[in-house]
Chain A
Amino acid sequence: MTYVVTEACIKCKYMDCVEVCPVDCFYEGENMLVIDPEVCIDCGVCEPECPAQAIKPDTEPGLERWLELNATFARRWPNITVKKEPPADAKAWDGVSDKFERFFSDKPGNGE
C-alpha cells in the first residue's frame, strides 16, 4: 500500500506535497512528481494537501498503471524535498483531461 501521484499533477506540479511529506518520498520529473512506493509509509498527509487532487491511495481501483509509473520514475528522477515555484500556468492546466497522452515527459526535473 502506498499513495501514488496521478495524471492531474502533469503541468500543474504545485509541489505542496513535498513540504508535508515526512519521509521525503517525492521525485521530480520535468512536468510532474511521483512517489517512491518503497519509501512511502501511507501516512496520507499529502493527499488532501494537493491542490490538483492528483494524489490517491493505491487501494483505489484503476490505479495500477500509475503505481507502475510512480515506481519506475522514482528510480530515474531526482528526489525533491523543498517546494519550488510552480509553473506560471499551473492553474490553467488544473483539471484538464488527457494530460498524460498529450504532455507527459519522462525527462527528469532538477530535484533538490
Chain B
Amino acid sequence: MDMNRDQSSKLSRRERLVEAIVDHTQIGEAMIRTLVHAFYAKVRRDTELGPIFEKAIGADWDAHLAKMCDFWSSVMLMSGRYKGNPMLAHMRQKTIAPKHFERWLEVFRETAVEVCPPEAAVAFELRAENIAKSLQLGMFYRPGATAAAHKAAPS
C-alpha cells in the first residue's frame, strides 16, 4: 500500500516537473524532431562540421537522427528514451578539436532560434552549452581522460 502510494506520488512529481517545462517552453516531441532534423541538415552542409559527421555517421543518418531525437527527449522531457555514452562516442572521433564545439553551438543556436519559440530556444541552448562544455572538458582538459576511454572501450 505504502509502496503504491510512494510510486504514484513520485510519478506525479516527474510529471509535474515535465509539465512545468512544457508550459514554459511549449517543447514537445514534434518540436524536438523539427529542431534535430533542421540542425543536422545544416551540420551536413557546414564546411567545418560536415566532414567530421559524414565520417562518423556514414550511411546511418536515419538511425543517428532517431537517436538524437531520443537524446533530446531524454534531456528536455525526462523521457528516459536515450541510453548511451556520448563521452566515449566523441572521444573515438580523433579529428574533433575544441573549435568544432564552438561551431556546433553556433549552428545549434542559430537553428533553435529559427525553429523554436524564444523560451524553448533558450532552454535548448542552455542544455546544449552545458553538455558541450562537459564533453570538451572530458575530451581535452581532464587528466586521465584517455585512460577512461580505454577502460570503457570493449575489450
Tell me, yes or no, whether A binds B.
yes
Chain A positions near chain B (C-beta within 8 angstroms): 1-2, 14, 16, 19-20, 22-24, 38-45, 48-49, 51, 81, 85-86
B86–A41 contact, CB under 8 A?
yes
Q: Does B78 contact A (CB under 8 A)?
A: yes
Given A1-B134, A19-B80, A49-B78, A44:B10 Cβ within 8 A: no
- The residue on A at minimum CB distance from B131 is A41
A20, A44, A48: the one within 8 Å of B80 (CB) = A20
- CB–CB B84/A22 < 8 A: yes
B17, B75, B144: the one contacting A43 at CB < 8 Å is B75
State whether the Cβ of B113 lies closer than 8 Å to any Cβ in chain A: no
If A19-B80, A22-B74, A24-B85 touch, whether A42 touches B142 (CB-CB below 8 Å) is no
Q: Which residues of B (117-155) have their CB < 8 Å from a CB of A?
A: 127, 130-131, 133-135, 137-138, 142, 144-145, 148, 152
21 A-B pairs with CB atoms under 8 Å apart are: A1-B130, A14-B10, A16-B14, A22-B83, A22-B84, A23-B83, A24-B85, A38-B142, A38-B144, A39-B152, A40-B134, A41-B86, A41-B87, A42-B130, A43-B74, A43-B131, A45-B75, A45-B78, A49-B78, A51-B13, A85-B3
Q: Which residues of A contact B53 (CB under 8 A)?
A: none
Q: Which of B52-109 contact A (CB under 8 A)?
A: 71, 74-75, 78, 80, 82-88
Secondary structure of the A side of the interface?
A: loop
Q: Which residues of B contact A14 (CB under 8 A)?
A: 10
B25 to chain A, nearest CB (A): 15
B75: which A residues are within 8 A, CB to CB? 22, 43, 45
- Give 4 new A-B contacts, CB below 8 A, not counting A22-B83, A42-B130, A49-B14: A20-B78, A20-B80, A38-B145, A49-B78
List A contacts of B85 (CB < 8 A): 23-24, 39
Point out residues on B near A: beta carbons under 8 Å. Answer: 3, 6, 10, 13-14, 17, 71, 74-75, 78, 80, 82-88, 127, 130-131, 133-135, 137-138, 142, 144-145, 148, 152
Shortest distance from the beta carbon of B63 to any chain A beta carbon, whole Å: 17
CB distance from A75 to the nearest CB of B (A): 9
Compute how far the CA of A51 lies from the CA of B75 in the bound complex, rounded to whole angstroms. Answer: 18
Closest CB in chain B relative to A88 CB, distance in Å: 8
